[in-house]
Amino acid sequence: MGKSKKNRAASTNQIQHKSQTTAEAFSFGDPVPVMDRRELLDYVECLQTDRWYEPPVSFDGLARTFRAAVHHSSPIAVKCNILTSTYIPHPLLSQQAFSRFVQDYLVFGNAYLEKRTNRFGEVIALEPALAKYTRRGLDLDTYWFVQYGMTTQPYQFTKGSIFHLMEPDINQEIYGLPGYLSVIPSALLNESATLFRRKYYINGSHAGFIMYMTDAAQNQEDVNNLRNAMKSAKGPGNFRNLFMYSPNGKKDGLQIIPLSEVAAKDEFLNIKNVSRDDMMAAHRVPPQMMGIIPQNTGGFGDIEKASKVFVRNELTPLQERIKEINEWVEDDIIKFNTYSLELA
């Protein structure tokens, strides 16, 4: 009678246990479209302070994003180097100053030149003002140098002494915006993938696996020694060879089940390649000019033809845009040599 009650109790517990198991359905949320909420920033445009307008995007963020991914900074460096190499230095604008001016324009979509004069009103130099800290006044004719800090104060440039070259924006006419803004998420994704993989190796997670031991021939001392050896495989020097002697062990008494390839798989190469293609499409620089190694046997084609097409379609329009300085100064200061692959 006692056994019967125990059996019925066990059966009841089993039924209750099964009844607690329920099916559950859930979702991670709907895709967020590009026109959802973020268009509110277009209504904000440029915030107005007491004396100047703030840019519509964070210039500090653009400066930090510049070095977030190699395929984002490399095209900008290529354009800057070619433009600087073809520029003919002028006594009023040195080659180094021109390089700073061009880099600001390519990174921020804005570039500023300060016209410095002597007491007679003659121009003695054209110096680039850092676009990261230059702001446009409320009357749109004055400019301020605003470098935030404990000991810095806003400085107003002399009216009419600043030349402002900007890449037009479709939402406002006060500041320019760079054309690569759409690729910033890809650049940050590329950086995040690299940082994740770096932490992945530093933490030793790439050595992760499950050691499944069912061999009865092993004693506890051997198990403890093996455990200590595996613990020491984490961190620097993690790739080590382990030796285990089991004369009476079975074939499947010790099994290694890899864990890192399943649990910590992050699609590293796919993320890097896709985000790289996005950045290259945004900057429109031929891959062979950035030192990218082709993955196919045919390669990227003739680099000389690619460079000539690139200069004609991308850099020549930039050169013509930079020549607007001549009209402002009323002098032919900006001149360029014809682009050539031959050394002078």
Q: Are 69 and 271 in contact (CB under 8 A)?
A: no
Whether residues 174 and 256 share a domain: the answer is no
Say whether both 132 and 242 belong to one domain.
Answer: no
Rounded to 5 degrees, φ, ψ at 211 are -95, 115
Is 3 among the domain residues? no
Residue 269 maps to a domain? no
Residues β-bridged to residue 257: 210
Query: Which residues of the chain are under the pLDDT cut of 50?
Result: 9-12, 14-17, 35, 262-264
Q: Do 49 and 149 belong to one domain?
A: yes
Percent of the chain at pLDDT exceeding 90: 47
The three-state secondary structure class of 8 is helix
The verdict on 198 and 299 lying in the same domain is no
Residues 65 and 131 in one domain: yes
Q: Are residues 255 and 295 in the same domain?
A: no
Same domain for 105 and 236, yes or no, is: no
Same domain for 53 and 163, yes or no, is yes
pLDDT of residue 341: 83
- 124-180 pLDDT per residue, tens: 999 999 999 999 999 989 999 998 766 678 889 999 999 999 999 998 899 999 999
As a whole number of Å, the end-to-end CA separation of the chain is 108
Is 19 within the bounds of a domain?
no
Range of the domain at 210: 192-263
40's enclosing H/E stretch is helix 40-44
pLDDT for the residue 263: 46
169 & 231 share domain: no
* Residue 161 and residue 199 in one domain: no
Domain assignment present for 253: yes
Tell me how many domains the chain contains: 2
At 93, give phi and psi (nearest 5°): -140, 105
149 and 55 part of one domain: yes
Residue 15: its pLDDT value, please? Answer: 47
